[in-house]
């Protein structure tokens, strides 16, 4: 399976070179473009005050990060979660600049630039000249934004995972994956010696009188009844 990590961050501003810092990281694990249910999320103490303009975007206040760990305290578990998977981000250069800056401050090795996949660039290639923000793509692909009132790293990563699926083939791709998994399950069932019970057996559509009439017809017209007997149908008893 192709394992990838969808990542989003929240920060105190736009540029780590001017003193802005990371304050939240959210990651979603996907395999074959579909979420596995595994995720990583943490607030991060930025070691500075959060400007009011940034708070209006994500709602993360100084009070909320007062007891949060510093990045150097979570970098190892973050990198362990990411592993050797590619990292998916929207406007990846922004998230990468903050992750790289924080890694540099605590002496941790950087994620290679080649591992980052930018969904903004994917969207610009597919929809040139159109609005391609995360919000715009969610609306274009009819992905609900009802749960999000403010930006947040984890919820934005969840939305981005859905957008990434659509950018890579969407519902057709999901159908292909589901069909492949169904076929695999069927092969496994045959190998085990059968197809397994039907989840919801079909109710009979004929009436009792119709079934009795059919048995009488078979008894009166068929000379060789061994075929029907092999299916458990007792014509003689009809």
Give dist(CA 30, CA 49) in Å, integer: 34
- Is 41 among the catalytic positions? no
CA 170/CA 16 separation, integer angstroms: 35
Q: Is the dihedral of CA 48, 50, 51, 54 positive or negative?
A: positive
What's the CA gap between 145 and 160, in Å, rounded?
Answer: 11
Extract long-range pairs of 105-109: CB within 8 Å, 24+ residues apart.
Answer: 105/71, 105/72, 106/71, 106/72, 106/75, 108/72, 108/75, 108/76, 108/79
CA 35 to CA 133: how far, in whole Å? Answer: 21
Q: Are 66 and 47 in contact (CB under 8 A)?
A: no
Distance CA 217, CA 238 (A): 10
Which residues face 89 on adjacent strands? 118
Give CA–CA dist 160/89, Å, rounded.
8
Catalytic: which of 45, 58, 101, 151? 151
The residues assigned a catalytic role are 151
């Amino acid at each position: 399976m192709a394992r990838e990590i969808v990542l989003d961050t929240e920060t105190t501003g736009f540029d780590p070179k001017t003193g802005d810092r990371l304050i939240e990281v959210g990651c979603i694990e996907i395999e074959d473009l579909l979420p596995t249910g595994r995720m990583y999320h943490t607030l991060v103490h930025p070691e500075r005050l959060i400007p009011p303009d940034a708070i209006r975007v994500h709602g993360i206040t100084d009070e909320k990060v007062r007891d949060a760990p510093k990045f150097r305290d979570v970098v190892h578990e973050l990198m362990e979660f990411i592993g050797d998977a590619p990292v998916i981000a929207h406007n990846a250069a922004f998230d990468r600049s903050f992750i790289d800056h924080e890694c540099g401050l605590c002496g941790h090795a950087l994620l290679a630039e080649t591992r980052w996949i930018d969904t903004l660039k994917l969207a610009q290639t597919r929809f040139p000249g159109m609005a391609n923000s995360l919000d715009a793509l969610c609306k274009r692909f009819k992905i609900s934004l009802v749960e999000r009132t403010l930006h947040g790293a984890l919820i934005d990563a969840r939305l981005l995972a859905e957008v990434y699926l659509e950018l890579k083939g969407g519902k057709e791709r999901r159908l292909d994956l589901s069909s492949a998994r169904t076929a695999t399950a069927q092969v496994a069932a045959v190998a085990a010696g059968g197809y397994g019970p039907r989840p919801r057996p079909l109710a009979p559509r004929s009436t009792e009188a119709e079934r009795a009439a059919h048995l009488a017809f078979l008894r009166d017209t068929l000379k060789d009844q061994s075929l029907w007997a092999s299916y458990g149908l007792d014509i003689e008893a009809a």
